[in-house]
Structure 1
Amino acid sequence: MLRTAVPLWPLPFAIALVLVVATHAAWALSVQAGHVPWCIPYLEGCTSISRAARHGLGNHLFRLMVLPCTLLVFLHWWLAGRWLAMRGGRGRLMLVLGAIGALALAVYATLLGTDGEAYRFLRRYGVVAYFGCSYLAQLLFLRRAGLTGPFDRIARAAMLAVCVAMLALGLVHVVVDALIGGSALQDRLENVFEWHLGVLLVCWFLVHARLWWQEGYALDTLRLRPLRDTSGRGALRRE
């Protein structure tokens, strides 16, 4: 029977691509329809990601693209756990956090644009849970991967940089909230932080795509396997 290997790096790459296109397409449609003002949100913070994707056609496009993407996010973390297992590591808690993050993203996307206090509560904490659980899953992956042995230096440095940058954004947010909380400037800065945090999460998936491409992580007809050994612990048997 013919067995073919399917590379897995396109999965995290596709997640990054979908999130970028969905967010910016929804923002562009909302600007065109007059739902949000024109500005450079990464610098001026005139609108949040949620507000940019809350109305009209932009809302429908955002949900149409992001909801299926939540399944890809879950698969990404499951495959990340399998990658760790093949190197002798553990990733169960990482998978749980990643799954919660994927579910929270699904809740957020489903309820975006709906009315009612309960919906607003779930929508607000859905996005918080997505960002928070995703960050913790990233930290666990980086820690567990380091314990299994050396891996691609560029990917490891980039993952560490993403985690440090996300932590720095969180600390700056706390300081800003303490100093100017409740002001219009604080609202704009929060929007800026949200856009940059979204970019950092996208960067994580891009770096993960590079790591799996570099290591030849693939799915064949029977099981997951690496195509080549980059751990420095001896050659892996190639099917």
Structure 2
Amino acid sequence: MTDPNSVRLWWLALAAGLIPLLTIHLTFMVSVLEGHVSFCIPYWDSCTSISKTGRHGTSYFIFKGAMLPAALLGLLFWWFNGRWLRQLGVRSAAIVWVPWLGLIASAALAAYTVALGHEGDGFNLMRRTGVVLYLSLTFLCELLISAALREHPVWRGEGKWLLALCQLTLAIGILSVILNGVAPGFYSRTDDAFEWVFALLINVHALMLARLWRKSRFRVRFWVG
């Protein structure tokens, strides 16, 4: 029987994956329309970084106005992923590590968002550190969850698909590191595209988790009836 005092939270997971993805594409298009960046397909033209789309004009306010709430949603998303795994009966270190790593990743996204568009050594360090921590720790959270689901007797198939997506993300990250070492000139012309692809993949993973939250009928009780 469903607890009448509990609520389904798949919509939160959906928002956590969808808002960052929609925001970077919206700020890109607004920046194009306002003449701050040239129109292109950033996933392979590598014409602009994600950061550049949110630095000027209207996009500056759209980026900050959407990404700061997205950071808060991310914090809740990773925290509830620990609850979700526990409800599924998963026995893994992911239950402990994911909420705390997600907390740091979300704080890093907030710091990056605040620093974006401001000049100075402190803001530059804050921006660079924020984006590296956000992307790397978000990927680690997704990897831990995927590996935990792969060992689950019911969710093993979904875990394999999620883990395959993580492996693709990791392969792209390793390729970018190799290119930076052996062909720095080529890498400097393509690094923005790597950033776009990496951001796409980690948010697609979050959207796939939203689907699993809905499929598993994940519910949380916030009050006592």
TM-score, with length taken from structure 2: 0.91
Asked if 1 retains the 8 angstrom alpha-carbon contact of 2:43 and 2:193, the reply is yes
Deviation at 1:152, TM superposition (A): 6.1
| Pair 1:160-2:159 in alignment | no
Question: Which residue, out of 81, 98, 104, partners 1:100?
Answer: 104
Q: 1:4 to 1:31 in 2, by over 3 A?
A: same
Deviation at 1:188, TM superposition (A): 2.9
Runs of 4+ in 1 over 4 A off after TM superposition: none
Partners of 1:188 and 1:178 lie apart in 2 by: 14
Deviations 1:118-158 (A, max 9, x none): 111110111010011111111222233344543162x3233
For the aligned residue pairs, the C-alpha RMSD in angstroms reads 1.8
Partners of 1:172 and 1:127 lie apart in 2 by: 19
Amino acid at match of 1:20: L
Deviations 1:35-65 (A, max 9, x none): 1111110110000101111111101101100
Question: Which residue, out of 117, 124, 129, partners 1:120?
Answer: 124
- Residue 69 (structure 2) aligns with: 68
Which structure 2 segments of 5+ residues have no match?
none
Deviations 1:191-229 (A, max 9, x none): 110000111011111110111111110124548xxxxxx
Asked if 2 retains the 8 angstrom alpha-carbon contact of 1:3 and 1:221, the reply is no
| Pair 1:27-2:28 in alignment | yes
Asked if 1 retains the 8 angstrom alpha-carbon contact of 2:109 and 2:130, the reply is yes
Asked if 2 retains the 8 angstrom alpha-carbon contact of 1:22 and 1:65, the reply is yes
Matched pairs, number: 219
Question: Which residue, out of 145, 158, 161, partners 1:141?
Answer: 145
- Residue 191 (structure 2) aligns with: 190
Amino acid at match of 2:44: L
- Residue 227 (structure 1) aligns with: none
- Residue 174 (structure 1) aligns with: 177
Partners of 2:189 and 2:50 lie apart in 1 by: 12
Amino acid at match of 1:44: D
TM-score, with length taken from structure 1: 0.86
Which structure 1 segments of 5+ residues have no match?
224-239
Deviation at 1:106, TM superposition (A): 0.5
Deviation at 1:21, TM superposition (A): 1.8
Deviates most, 66-75 or 12-21: 12-21
Partners of 1:152 and 1:23 lie apart in 2 by: 32
Partners of 2:19 and 2:33 lie apart in 1 by: 21
Partners of 1:75 and 1:187 lie apart in 2 by: 36
Asked if 1 retains the 8 angstrom alpha-carbon contact of 2:23 and 2:67, the reply is yes
Asked if 2 retains the 8 angstrom alpha-carbon contact of 1:98 and 1:133, the reply is yes
Deviations 1:84-111 (A, max 9, x none): 2221534111211111111100101111
Deviates most, 214-223 or 199-208: 214-223
Partners of 1:49 and 1:188 lie apart in 2 by: 15
Deviation at 1:4, TM superposition (A): 4.5
* Same amino acid, percent of matched pairs: 33
Partners of 1:202 and 1:93 lie apart in 2 by: 19
